[in-house]
Amino acid sequence: MEKSCVEPLVAWVCSLPQCETPAFDAVTHKEPHMGGGSPRLGMNMLLTFMATSQAIPFGNTTSSLNSWAHSVKNDRMAGSSVDHPAPEIGEDMGREIHDGAVAVLHELSKQYGPRQVLDRVSFRIQQGEVFGLLGPNGAGKTTLLECLTGLRKPTSGSIEVLGYDPASRVSELRRMVAVQPQEATLFPQLTVRETVELWASFYQEHDEVDEVLDRVGLADEAYQRVKALSGGQSRRLLLAVTVVGRPRVLVLDEPAAGLDPQAKEHLWGVIRRQREVGGTVLLTTHDMNEAAELCDRVAVLVGGRVAACDTPARLVSALAATSTVTFTTSADVDTSKIGSFPGVISLDIASNSEGRLSVQVQTSAGDQTLRHIAADEQLAATDLDISRGGLDAVFRSLAADESPRQESVRRQKEAN
């Protein structure tokens, strides 16, 4: 897209009121949120980001666009005809990172009044990995993303992304970090292709627009207007404008929410490609299967604290190591012997509608228990099945363990 197409848009953006408070609050006209699902970034935030130096990075738009836009505005007000060339984006690749860590958080805390939203959060995100952030609603995930992208300043602790402090060096990070929010409103009258071309025009180097549209599954909708897209197609378009500028770090806030299975496959392909080319992905999700399939490591955030951080396989092994074996057997069978099988922790036996026994065995040695039950001729087990613990079991276990601590903290604060 030519500069002449972009310049009127940026000039219009410059006519918007400038905000002196954090852009998120100024744009949404809301008080600073108290955690637990804050308003999402929308197109207004993008526009404010393009016109000011205070907003969150979205789609890698750079601060040089800010100076160019204001030069256009100031010269027009003065009646000047000076031409300001559009800035070239993507030249600054950031500082050298140490030990392969793209992001380092140390004892990061964030408070809103008396409420502790983040409590001494510490972890590292390595270059080239897909890092998942899991947690129930209100756990502090959105606040953590806001701190990582420079929108919020932490109350205490430190955070470094690509060698920079996000809160004070937003302009540097805009070139390298791209954010896909859960929701945003794009220009409704533009076509899908025109929208991605607009974003591509902000970068000195970018992927081919048609290739990006194919990657996210919107090739057939290239000439359809944005206003005619379905919800899932709109989310895929958000993904397209986020990745077209080849970001080093891709931040995705629940990217699969509302996507059909085919669209989810396109999303997963984009995430895997980002990792293959050496990029880094940070994603939040409530889909445990998605986290297990995509993430090299995950951090489980509960009550503003990191309850666990490791690979999905290690978390499952450590925190969801039990399996459940189920089967049916005759009502006159002696089931007491099952308690002596390897790994058996507990038995749950009930009569079913056919007059047989339905048996549920919780075990720490699923395969061995299963073999013993199958080999026992007296049990004559039928409908034999085994279900193993997964990330969902880890998630439930950590959330349940955190509830008593949160209640204790609440009572202590009330007492004080």
**Is residue 210, in this structure, part of any structural domain at all?**
yes
Can you give the CATH number for the domain in which 332 is found? Answer: 3.30.70.260
**Looking at the 3D structure of the chain, how many domains does it have?**
2
Residue-range definition of the domain harbouring residue 222:
1-315
The verdict on 127 and 276 lying in the same domain is yes
Classify residue 339 by its DSSP letter. Answer: G
3-state secondary structure 360-396: EEEECCHHHHHHHHHHCCCCCCEEEEEEECCHHHHHH
The verdict on 203 and 270 lying in the same domain is yes
The verdict on 241 and 362 lying in the same domain is no
**Is residue 138, in this structure, part of any structural domain at all?**
yes
**Is residue 414, in this structure, part of any structural domain at all?**
no
The verdict on 231 and 346 lying in the same domain is no
The verdict on 80 and 189 lying in the same domain is yes
**Is residue 232, in this structure, part of any structural domain at all?**
yes
The verdict on 139 and 161 lying in the same domain is yes
**Is residue 399, in this structure, part of any structural domain at all?**
no
The verdict on 148 and 260 lying in the same domain is yes
Can you give the CATH number for the domain in which 184 is found? Answer: 3.40.50.300
Both ends of the chain: CA-CA distance in Å?
61
**Is residue 380, in this structure, part of any structural domain at all?**
yes
What's the rounded Cα separation, in Å, for the pair 276 and 350?
Answer: 51
DSSP H or E run through 115: strand 115-126
The residue out of 289, 315, 341 marking a domain boundary is 315
**Is residue 74, in this structure, part of any structural domain at all?**
yes
The verdict on 289 and 350 lying in the same domain is no
The one-digit pLDDT tens for each residue of the chain (416 residues) are 444 444 445 444 444 433 333 333 333 333 333 333 333 333 433 443 343 332 233 333 333 333 333 333 343 344 433 333 333 333 344 455 557 899 999 999 999 999 999 999 999 999 999 999 999 888 999 899 999 988 899 999 999 999 999 988 887 788 889 988 877 778 999 999 999 999 999 888 899 999 999 999 999 999 999 999 998 899 899 999 999 999 999 999 888 887 888 889 999 999 999 999 999 999 999 888 899 999 999 999 999 999 999 999 888 877 877 888 999 999 999 898 999 999 999 899 999 888 899 999 988 888 899 999 999 999 999 999 988 778 888 888 788 766 544 444 444 444 44
The verdict on 293 and 236 lying in the same domain is yes
The residue out of 274, 294, 315 marking a domain boundary is 315
**Is residue 416, in this structure, part of any structural domain at all?**
no
The residue out of 315, 338, 353 marking a domain boundary is 315
The verdict on 249 and 338 lying in the same domain is no
Residue 248, CB-side half-sphere exposure with 13 Å CA sphere = 24
The verdict on 223 and 329 lying in the same domain is no
The verdict on 24 and 4 lying in the same domain is yes
Bridge-based pairing state of the strands 297-302 and 130-134: parallel
Q: How far is CA 268 from CA 77, 133, 193, 252, 312, in A?
A: 47, 16, 22, 12, 17
Prediction pTM value = 0.67
